[in-house]
């Protein structure tokens, strides 16, 4: 009987984000007649697509008991590099050569840049034993500075309709960013639930020493995960740049906090080893719905930040309480 | 059996690297292209001149349409009685959404001179005439003469608005503003932006294209 009660408690704690989302939707729906409309539904999904990409990468990092504070800056740099290469290419005056980039080429270069920055994060964390908080905080500044250098502080705009399709287009009645984020989620779920790498990520987060003793190449796994997080931040950067038809030097500021919030609200433990991609997706939807609801209800942007902060705090407190009980 | 395993282990990486190399080559082939730098620069020097386009657009397309624009008092009366008819007959926009633009003309008395605009009283309503910040796409889009499909770059489309607004600021607003006094009668023609879904006729701002 006791076991059944325990099981029910565990199941209920797993359902908490879903219940929170349901209650949130209900409250906003009652207060605003614009909330339950088809256009607003797609609007919310389109808005959370970028955060989902960042949060999926962040989940993998947090599952290993790490953190990546650089995702917002990496997003900006990769978006700027993609936009810059696509619009201006590379000029080699000494060779009288112009290297132009197609949309595919510029996008690949952007994602590759993100992966390289992520790889660098992982390398610094594993090789020099720098705490992930510090290493990625440093990368946050480095990437932002590189973005300013690349863009000279000015937006790179006028990228054209072909480029805009990625962020504003529709495919089979669904916005393209939603397709991209869905593909990212599907790949991440497959990676975390069905591959050796996924099991290693959970094992390292659960107990790093035990994982080391059981023969897992911890450094390799960490580098791979930070590389993936960097690449996903770059995908987010492509979507933001495409949606705005412009690479803004200050794009992505504060996005790392939204992605950490989505991860925490989704039930992934900051101490690692516990959580899921699906939970994070729910967390990102909750953050998105909350943002959307506060806008629809004409809440001041300053109050929006206060409310979001308290929601994150509440999620952590509930997570702690669940950990104690279970 | 171990031999077979060994053989398989050796073959598999080659196959993997082979397929990988082909994929990388296909991606690279479709990712970059090479041209002579001189040729690219020569093309760039003949790029779209938004300022010249805006000047011609104002003179040849916008001005004739302004001459036959509806009186603002008549338009707002129609908007209050039959919103859909007014929007269908007189509004234009190049983008989707609820914001649509109208060309209008009218006459009113200046009742207040503000930092960024003038308040004027027409026979039927109070309006503001923008004086400081001439921005947005109202002038470009309101005539319905601006054909977005002729442009391949979004930046060019935006630059037309920007140059048109600059032109109006320099040639219409600046000469008029220092002479404007409370009590003066002003004849204006320009554009207004209205939200079809959330129509608000109490705070109409006219972006002027002509002031007398």
Q: Tens of pLDDT along A29-53?
A: 999 888 898 989 999 999 999 999 9
* Residues in chain A within 8 Å Cβ distance of B36: 96-98
B38 Cα to chain A: minimum distance (Å) = 7
Residues whose CB falls within 8 Å of the CB of residue A260, separated by 6 or more in sequence, listed in order: A58, A62, A67
Phi then psi for residue A154, to 5 deg, are -110, 150
A153 — pLDDT class (breaks 50, 70, 90):
confident
Domain extent, residue A226, equals 46-325
Better-scored residue on pLDDT, A168 or A79:
A79
Give the pLDDT of residue B9.
55
Residue A321 lies in a domain: yes
What is the distance of C-alpha B209 from the center of its chain?
A: 15
Q: How many domains does chain A have?
A: 1
Write the pLDDT tens digit of every residue in A94-117: 888 999 999 999 999 999 999 999
CB contact under 8 A, A108 and B34: no
Better-scored residue on pLDDT, B156 or A84:
A84
Residues linked to residue B130 through DSSP beta bridges, in sequence order? B117
Residues whose CB falls within 8 Å of the CB of residue A82, separated by 6 or more in sequence, listed in order: A106, A107, A109, A110, A237, A238, A241, A247
Average pLDDT over residues B168-193: 90
Report the percentage of chain A scoring pLDDT > 70: 96
Partner B contacted by A93 (CB < 8 A): yes
Partner B contacted by A100 (CB < 8 A): yes
Residue A16 lies in a domain: no
Structure tokens at A281: 């997706």
B48-211: CATH topology is: OB fold (Dihydrolipoamide Acetyltransferase, E2P) (2.40.50)
Q: Is B97 left (phi over 0), alpha (psi -120 to 50) or beta?
A: left
Q: Distance between CA atoms of A121 and A135, rounded to whole angstroms?
A: 6
Structure tokens at A86: 């696509």
CB contact under 8 A, A99 and B32: yes
Facing A105 at nearest CB: one of B31, B37, B155: B31
Q: Which long-range contacts (CB under 8 A, 24 or more apart) does B110-115 make?
A: B110/B180, B110/B181, B110/B182, B110/B183, B110/B184, B110/B185, B110/B186, B111/B182, B112/B182, B113/B180, B113/B181, B113/B182
CB contact under 8 A, A92 and B37: yes
Please give the full DSSP string across A130-173, using - where no structure is assigned: --HHHHHHHHHHHHHHHHHHHHTTS-EE---HHHHHHHH-EETT
Residue A247 lies in a domain: yes
Facing B36 at nearest CB: one of A89, A96, A164: A96
Write the pLDDT tens digit of every residue in A47-93: 999 999 999 999 999 999 999 999 999 999 999 999 999 988 998 98
Write the pLDDT tens digit of every residue in B62-107: 888 888 999 999 999 999 999 999 999 999 887 767 889 999 999 9
Residue B185 reports pLDDT greater than 70: yes
Classify strands A97-101 and A90-92 as parallel, antiparallel or unpaired.
antiparallel
Q: Distance between CA atoms of B66 and B191, rounded to whole angstroms?
A: 9
**A322 near A17, Cβ under 8 Å?**
no
Write the pLDDT tens digit of every residue in A222-240: 999 999 999 999 999 999 9
Residue B31 reports pLDDT greater than 60: yes
Q: Distance between CA atoms of B24 and A200, rounded to whole angstroms?
A: 29
Partner B contacted by A160 (CB < 8 A): yes
Please give the full DSSP string across A179-241, using - where no structure is assigned: HHHHHHHHHHHHHHHHSHHHHHHHHHHH-HHHHHHTT--HHHHHHHHHHHHHHHHHHHHHHHH
**B85 near B78, Cβ under 8 Å?**
yes
Give the pLDDT of residue B3.
38
Residue A181 lies in a domain: yes
- Write down the ipTM of this complex: 0.78
Q: Distance between CA atoms of A55 and A122, rounded to whole angstroms?
A: 17
Give the pLDDT of residue B6.
46
* Residues in chain B within 8 Å Cβ distance of A160: 152-154
Q: Which residue carries 């009186």 as its tokens?
A: B71
Average pLDDT over residues A110-129: 96
Cβ of A35: how many Cβ atoms within 10 Å? 20
């Amino acid at each position: 009987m006791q076991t059944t009660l325990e099981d029910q408690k565990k199941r209920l704690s797993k359902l908490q984000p879903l219940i929170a989302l349901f209650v949130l939707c209900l409250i906003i729906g009652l207060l605003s007649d614009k909330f339950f409309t088809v256009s607003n539904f797609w609007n919310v999904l389109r808005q959370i697509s970028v955060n989902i990409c960042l949060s999926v990468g962040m989940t993998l990092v947090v599952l290993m008991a790490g953190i990546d504070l650089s995702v917002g800056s990496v997003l900006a740099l990769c978006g700027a590099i993609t936009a810059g290469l696509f619009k201006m290419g590379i000029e080699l005056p000494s060779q009288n050569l112009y290297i132009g980039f197609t949309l595919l080429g510029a996008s690949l270069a952007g994602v590759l840049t993100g992966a390289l920055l992520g790889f660098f994060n992982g390398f610094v964390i594993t090789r020099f034993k720098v705490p992930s908080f510090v290493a990625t905080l440093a990368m946050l500044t480095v990437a932002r500075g590189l973005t300013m250098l690349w863009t000279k502080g000015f937006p790179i705009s006028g990228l054209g309709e072909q480029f805009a399709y990625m962020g504003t287009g529709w495919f089979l009645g669904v916005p393209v960013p939603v397709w991209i984020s869905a593909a990212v989620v599907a790949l991440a779920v497959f990676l975390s639930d069905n591959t050796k790498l996924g099991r290693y990520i959970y094992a390292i987060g659960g107990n790093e020493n035990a994982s080391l003793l059981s023969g897992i190449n911890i450094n390799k796994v960490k580098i791979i995960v930070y590389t993936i997080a960097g690449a996903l931040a770059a995908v987010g950067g492509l979507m933001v740049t495409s949606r705005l038809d412009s690479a803004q030097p200050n794009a992505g500021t504060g996005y790392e906090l939204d992605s950490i919030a989505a991860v925490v609200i989704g039930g992934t433990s900051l101490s690692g080893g516990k959580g899921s991609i699906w939970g994070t997706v729910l967390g990102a939807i909750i953050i998105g719905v909350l943002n959307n609801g506060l806008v629809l209800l004409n809440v001041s942007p300053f109050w929006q930040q206060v409310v979001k902060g308290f929601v994150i705090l509440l999620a952590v407190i509930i997570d702690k309480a669940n950990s104690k009980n279970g | 059996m171990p031999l077979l395993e060994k053989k398989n282990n050796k073959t598999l990486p080659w196959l993997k690297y082979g397929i990988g190399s082909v994929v990388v080559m296909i991606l690279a082939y479709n990712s970059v292209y090479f041209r002579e730098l001189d040729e690219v620069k020569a093309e760039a020097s003949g790029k779209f001149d938004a300022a010249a386009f805006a000047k011609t657009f104002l003179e040849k397309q916008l001005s004739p349409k302004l001459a036959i624009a509806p009186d603002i008092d008549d338009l707002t009366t129609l908007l209050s009685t039959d919103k859909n008819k007014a929007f269908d007959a007189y509004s234009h926009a190049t983008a989707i959404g609820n914001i649509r633009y109208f060309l209008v003309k009218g006459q009113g008395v200046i009742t207040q001179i503000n930092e960024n605009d003038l308040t004027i009283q027409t026979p039927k309503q109070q309006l503001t005439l923008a004086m400081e910040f001439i921005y947005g796409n109202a002038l470009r889009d309101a005539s319905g003469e601006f054909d977005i499909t002729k442009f391949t770059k979004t930046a060019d489309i935006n630059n037309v608005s920007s140059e048109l607004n600059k032109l109006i600021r320099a040639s219409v607003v600046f000469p008029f503003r220092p002479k404007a006094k409370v009590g003066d009668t002003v004849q204006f023609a320009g554009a207004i932006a209205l939200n079809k879904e959330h129509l608000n006729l109490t705070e109409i701002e006219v972006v002027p294209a002509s002031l007398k």
